[in-house]
Amino acid sequence: MKILIIGNGGREHAIAWKIAQSPKVKKIFCAPGNPGIAEIAECVDIDVNNIEDLFNFASKQKIDLTIVGPEDPLLAGIVDKFKEGNLNIFGPSKRASIIEGSKVFAKNIMKKHGIPTADFRVFEDIKKAEKYLENCSAPIVIKADGLAKGKGVFVCKTIEEAQEHLHEIMEEKIFGAAGNKVVIEECLQGEEVSILAITDGQTIIPLASARDHKAIYDGNKGPNTGGMGAYSPSPFITNDLQFYIEENVLVPIIHAMKRENRPYNGIIYAGLMLTNAGPKVLEFNARFGDPETQALLVRMKSDLVPILIAAINNTLDKAEIEWYDSHSICVVLASKGYPDRYKKGLPIFGLQNVKSLKNVHVFHAGTTKDNGNIVTNGGRVLGVTTMGNDVKEARTIAYDAINKLSFEGMYYRKDIGIDAA
Ligand code: AMP
Ligand code: GLY
Encode pLDDT of 360-395 as tens digits.
999 999 999 999 999 999 999 999 999 999 999 999
Ligand nearest to the CA of 229: 2
Q: What is the pLDDT of residue 421?
A: 85
Query: Residues 342-356: what's their mean pLDDT?
Result: 97
Residue-wise pLDDT for 118-144, tens only, equals: 999 999 999 999 999 999 999 999 999
pLDDT of amino acid 150: 77
- CATH number (3.40.50.10490, 3.40.50.20, 1.10.1750.10, 3.30.420.40) of 2-91 reads 3.40.50.20
Q: Which atom of ligand 2 is nearest to the CA of 290?
A: 4
For the whole prediction, is pTM greater than 0.85?
yes
Residue 383 and residue 85: Cα distance in Å, rounded? 35
| Predicted pLDDT of residue 2 | 98
Q: What is the dihedral of CA 350, 356, 360, 366, to 10 degrees?
A: 40
303-335 residue pLDDT tens:
999 999 999 999 999 999 999 999 999 999 999
140-165 tens-digit pLDDT: 999 999 999 878 999 999 999 999 99
Please give the C-alpha separations between residue 30 and each of 17, 118, 335, 361, in angstroms, as whole numbers. 12, 38, 24, 19
What pLDDT is stored for residue 214 in this prediction?
Answer: 93
Q: Does the domain spanning 191-318 belong to CATH 3.30.470.20?
A: yes
pLDDT for the residue numbered 390: 97
Say yes or no: do domains 120-186 and 327-402 share a fold: no
274 lines ligand 1 (CB under 6 A): no
* 227 Cα–ligand 2 center, Å: 6
Which value, to the nearest 10 degrees, does the dihedral of the CA atoms of residues 178, 165, 210, 16 take?
40
Mean confidence (pLDDT) of the chain: 97
Domain boundaries, the chain: 2-91, 120-186, 191-318, 327-402
CATH topology of domain 120-186: Dna Ligase; domain 1 (3.30.1490)
Ligand 2, residue 283: give the atom nearest the CA: 5
